[in-house]
Amino acid sequence: MNERLPTGSGRQDDAQGRGGGRVGDGATGGVLPDGPPSWRLLSTLAVAGALAGLLLVLVFQATDPAIQAHRARVLAEAVHEVLGGPERYETLFLIDGRFTAEPGGADTTGLDRVYLGYGTDERPLGLAIEGGEPGFQDVIRLIFGYDPGTGRVLGMKVLESKETPGLGDKIEKDSAFVRIFRGARTPLFGVKRDRATGADGEVELITGATISSRAIVDIINHRVEELDVELRTFWDPRAAGGGAP
Amino acid sequence: MKTTTGREDLLRGVWRENPVLVQLLGLCPALAVTNTVANSLAMGLATFFVLMGSSLLVSSLKGVIPHEVRISAYILIIATFVTIADMVLAAVVPDIHKALGAFIALIVVNCMILGRQEAFASKRPVGRALLDAAGTGVGFVVAMLLMGTVREVLGNGSLLGVPVLGSGYEPWVVMILPPGGFFTLGFILLGFAWWRGRAEERPAVREWPHGVRTSTRKEAA
């Protein structure tokens, strides 16, 4: 029963080993046929795992700067677009119900954050706010510019969506739809094309992409509603001090 | 074990035993990410890289890996190369990486790759294993490009993002949606099987006047 084929065809080898084991059960008490000891199997996999881990750490370190740089570039472009071209912008973190630019050494991962854009002569233009909710296929993530003083949306850009190509992806590719959000007053409300009245804050939903386009409206409304108090506390003193933005 | 020449090892995977069109392996990426030529190509090249790397390591380590844990070891090796491909794609072509999404990570479970390790690379010298991996990898890229070209041209009227069918063409959106993947694969497999069937029906030897006989098969017996 200990006769083993050389490492030739795996299938034959397995069948042989198993058959041999069953026949010899009475005598050997179910001990597996001779092979390499377990420690050798374990150590082979452990060493291979360690080497693989080491290699991955090296590749990660080599590629991470490029990945982070790309992520930051995408975000900067998006903030720039939805705030109508600010001179510069800073990140504000929501800590204990207050927006602050200086987290004071606190761990900022996982904190809610918005981006405050300044125009020329340091005038605050508005805030860029990220949000995400399920659309038709998967979660749609977007960023929108918002002026807490007037309650108007300044612009909207989809960051991530897996909506149906040709239909649902019009939420980012249909420039007429994207333009509706510029200057629209919150709360927004979506209407189908034949019911459109032209009221302020009305968003004409895309035919064939009703669920996707309604999701955009909902994401913006929910985020504005969610952060309303915090946004006002942050914005009003600035607006009063520095003149209406 | 049938002996083969290096040339056979290389060419086998490209056409006669094409992983997708003949062996019907690796169908998941062939259906899921072939909606544009660029995505198909990126997926094909990532798989090619993983296949080459894994075959190289599996073949060079065949004396070291104990038979009992070989599958775990192969998966470990494949997963390492897939993760490398994933990170490199994210750093170099972020947009394509985003479009391919989870399917990069799923190269790990592409049975085409594990199949080549178990059936070939683990028993052959390194050179042969690399030839075999290159052939199979090229075969996969060819199949992916076939799918991607048909789907992007019909579904979007463009090739590599450049419009080719004019503005009067109304794209068949269904072709870039999942059903289009099944239609395209079905028709390509049908065409391929028909073509192969015809090739096999031809007589092996053709009789010419004056008693000249020539072989009609490319791969002479």
Q: ipTM value, please give it.
A: 0.73
Comparing B34 with B101, the larger pLDDT belongs to B34
Kindly identify which residue of chain B lies nearest to residue A73, measuring between CA atoms: B94
Q: Rounded mean pLDDT of B114-125?
A: 89
Confidence bin at A240 (pLDDT 50/70/90): low
pLDDT (tens digit per residue) in A96-111: 878 888 777 767 777 8
Residue A195 has pLDDT above 60, yes or no: yes
pLDDT (tens digit per residue) in B131-168: 999 999 999 999 999 999 999 999 888 888 788 887 78
Q: Are A40 and B66 in contact (CB under 8 A)?
A: yes
Confidence bin at A23 (pLDDT 50/70/90): very low
Helix axes B126-156, B178-201, angle to 10 degrees: 120
| B76 lies within 8 A of chain A by CB | yes
Q: Rounded mean pLDDT of A44-67?
A: 93
Residue A177 has pLDDT above 60, yes or no: yes
- Which stretches does DSSP call E strand in chain A? 88-95, 98-100, 113-118, 124-134, 139-147, 152-160, 189-191, 202-204
pLDDT (tens digit per residue) in A128-147: 999 999 998 889 999 999 99
Relative to beta strand A189-191, strand A202-204 is: parallel
Residue B171 has pLDDT above 90, yes or no: no
Query: Considering only CB atoms, which chain B residues are within 8 Å of A72?
Result: none
Cα B100 from Cα B86, distance rounded (Å) = 10
Closest CA to B127 of B60, B63, B71: B60
Instruction: Kindly tell me the burial class for residue B59, based on how many C-beta atoms sit within 10 Å of its own C-beta (0-12, 13-18, 19 or more).
Output: buried
Which sequence spans correspond to the domains of chain B? 6-199
Q: Rounded mean pLDDT of A150-179?
A: 86
Q: Are B205 and B215 in contact (CB under 8 A)?
A: yes
Q: Rounded mean pLDDT of B19-28?
A: 87
Nearest CA-CA distance, residue A113 and chain B, Å: 24
Residue A244 has pLDDT above 50, yes or no: no
Residue A31 has a pLDDT of 57
- R_g over Cα of chain A: 30
Residue A220 has a pLDDT of 94
Q: Are A145 and A154 in contact (CB under 8 A)?
A: yes
pLDDT (tens digit per residue) in A202-226: 898 998 889 999 999 999 999 999 9
Residue B218 has a pLDDT of 58
- Cβ burial B3-34 (10 Å sphere, 16+ → b, else e): eeeeebbbbbbbbeebbbbbbebbbebbbbbb
Confidence bin at A239 (pLDDT 50/70/90): low
3-state secondary structure (DSSP) of residue A128: strand
pLDDT (tens digit per residue) in B127-138: 899 999 999 999
| A13 lies within 8 A of chain B by CB | yes
Number of neighbours of residue A130 by Cβ within 10 angstroms: 19
Residue A125 has pLDDT above 80, yes or no: yes
Q: What is the pTM of this model?
A: 0.70
| Structure-block tokens of residue B7 | 């040339």
Residue B59 has pLDDT above 80, yes or no: yes
Q: Is the peptide bond before A245 cis (omega within 30 degrees of 0)?
A: no
Residue B220 has pLDDT above 50, yes or no: no
Contact B176 A165 (CB under 8 A): yes
| Structure-block tokens of residue A51 | 């080497």
3-state secondary structure (DSSP) of residue B203: coil
Contact B64 A44 (CB under 8 A): yes
Q: Choose the closest CB to A63 out of B1, B90, B173.
A: B90
Residue A11 has a pLDDT of 44
Cα B204 from Cα B140, distance rounded (Å) = 29
Number of neighbours of residue A162 by Cβ within 10 angstroms: 16
| Token pair 């897939």: residue | B82
Query: Considering only CB atoms, which chain A residues are within 8 Å of B35?
Result: 165
Side chain identity at residue B26, one-letter code: G
Cα A8 from Cα B119, distance rounded (Å) = 10
- H helix runs in B63-158, sequence order: 70-92, 94-100, 111-116, 126-156
| Structure-block tokens of residue A189 | 């409300």
Helix (H) or strand (E) holding B42, with range, is helix B37-60
Helix, strand, coil distribution of chain B in percent, nearest 5: 70, 5, 25
Residue A221 has a pLDDT of 94
Q: Rounded mean pLDDT of A118-134?
A: 88
What value does the mean pLDDT of chain B take?
Answer: 86
Q: Rounded mean pLDDT of B121-131?
A: 90
pLDDT (tens digit per residue) in B181-204: 999 999 999 988 888 888 777 766
